[in-house]
Amino acid sequence: MLLISLTEFILYICFSVLIGSLILFMVPEDKKPSMYIPKKVLYLVAVLIPLAAFLPVFQVANILAGDRDLWFILKNVVLTFEIGKAWLFISFVSVILICVLLAKNLKSKIHLKTWALFLTLLMLFGYTKSSHAATITEWQGFIFHTLHFLSVTIWIGILFVVSWFSKNKSNWLTFLKWFTPVALTCLIITITAGYFTMEIDINSYDDPKASIFQEYQNSLIVNYGQALVLKHIFIISLIVFAFLNGLLFRSKNNQDSFNPLKWARLESVYALIVFGLTAFMGQSWPPHQIYSLIMTEGASPLFEALYDGDFINTIQNADSTGVFNVTMSFGMESYLLFGLGLLFMVSTIFAAAKKRSVFVSTFSSLLMVLSVYFGIMMGIQ
């Protein structure tokens, strides 16, 4: 599962770099920092996308094959399964995309850049069409997951490329004037579409009447839910650094000693952590049937290490399936940890705005994540 999660992580990075680079190619030179994006990077990510997307297809075929002919099963998975057909489509489009990227005048010819971006979006649609949310609904899951994934790759892709491939901070304020509203729009779409995607992914089959809040609580006892709550907390840190980079640091740009690129890189690192957690979720069993999942896969090791109650034993000793709901009751310890989390968030902003210390800001934000996470876990009954 970790290997497949790694390939998902690579996919997220590749799509982000490709989309971010192609969008920035279309932006006039005076509206972005001076940067150099090697074409070899674009070739590499275009090749890695179908390669990384193949491993989950192979895993499905390997599981189904058993003692039978693996090649025969793999061919059937590619031609008949949704995940296989999606990979075939992605691979076909990738070949065309590489041909376009090989063109000498890619950066100067608008029609070549448009075609490259269009082909990249086609690959992205092929990927989201085989997602979990898309396969268990008719169109809602595909639409919401596509909007969620596309908005993230635009926001983080531009940020990632600018922060790691820029030569200096020239035109930084001009860049922020258009990127800040783009990032804010992407963030709103990400949160909205992400909510509806999550609603599909954690929908309880055991208790169809359960609220999404109850389903979220129930998911915390399995790997999917643990990754989900950590992802949401890390997104808070990501938004904090986005606020610092997009608004608070504008007045400091004229200072020669101030380098906005290192702060943009820090924001991109937090985005990579969110990508990693999302990739892990993509290869974890969704919490649709908690009883069956606990009986077959067991609880999350992280949950079991922190929780000292009898909830898991109750499920495992039950004679039949039923409705098993996690409840939350925050005591003084949880509220103290939430207060510490808020204090560490303020420290993160203060260290960035006043001290301009990347280390202190990073350390404070990580302590904020831990404080909020442990506060939530201590409230589980």
pLDDT for 17 equals: 95
CA count, 13 A, side-chain hemisphere, 218: 27
- Coil/strand/helix, residue 166: strand
Q: Does residue 305 sit within a domain? A: yes
Q: Which residue range forms the structural domain that includes residue 285? A: 202-381
Angle of helix 70-80 relative to helix 39-65, nearest 10 degrees? 120
Q: Which tens digits make up the pLDDT trace of 339-351? A: 999 999 999 988 8
CA distances from 338 to 20, 201, 285 (A): 35, 27, 29
Q: Does residue 356 sit within a domain? A: yes
pTM here?
0.91
Q: Does residue 74 sit within a domain? A: no
3-state helix, strand, coil in the chain (%, to 5): 75, 0, 25
Question: What are the structure tokens assigned to 260, written together?
Answer: 């906005």
What is the CB neighbour count within 10 angstroms for residue 130?
Answer: 21
Q: Does residue 191 sit within a domain? A: no
Q: Which tens digits make up the pLDDT trace of 23-57? A: 999 999 999 999 898 889 999 999 999 999 999 89
Average pLDDT score over residue span 307-314: 77
Q: Does residue 280 sit within a domain? A: yes
Q: Does residue 125 sit within a domain? A: no
Question: What are the structure tokens assigned to 265, written together?
Answer: 């890189």
Number of domains in the chain: 1
What burial letters (b/e) apply to 106-129, b meaning 16+ CB within 10 Å?
Answer: beeeeebbebbbebbbbbbbbbbb
Q: Is the predicted pLDDT of residue 229 greater than 90, yes or no?
A: yes
Q: Does residue 89 sit within a domain? A: no
Residue with tokens 């909020």: 372
Close Cβ partners of 280 (under 8 Å, ≥ 6 residues apart): 5, 8, 223, 227
What is the CB neighbour count within 10 angstroms for residue 140?
Answer: 15
Q: Does residue 4 sit within a domain? A: no
Average pLDDT of the chain, as a whole number: 88
Res. 223 pLDDT band, cuts 50 70 90: very high
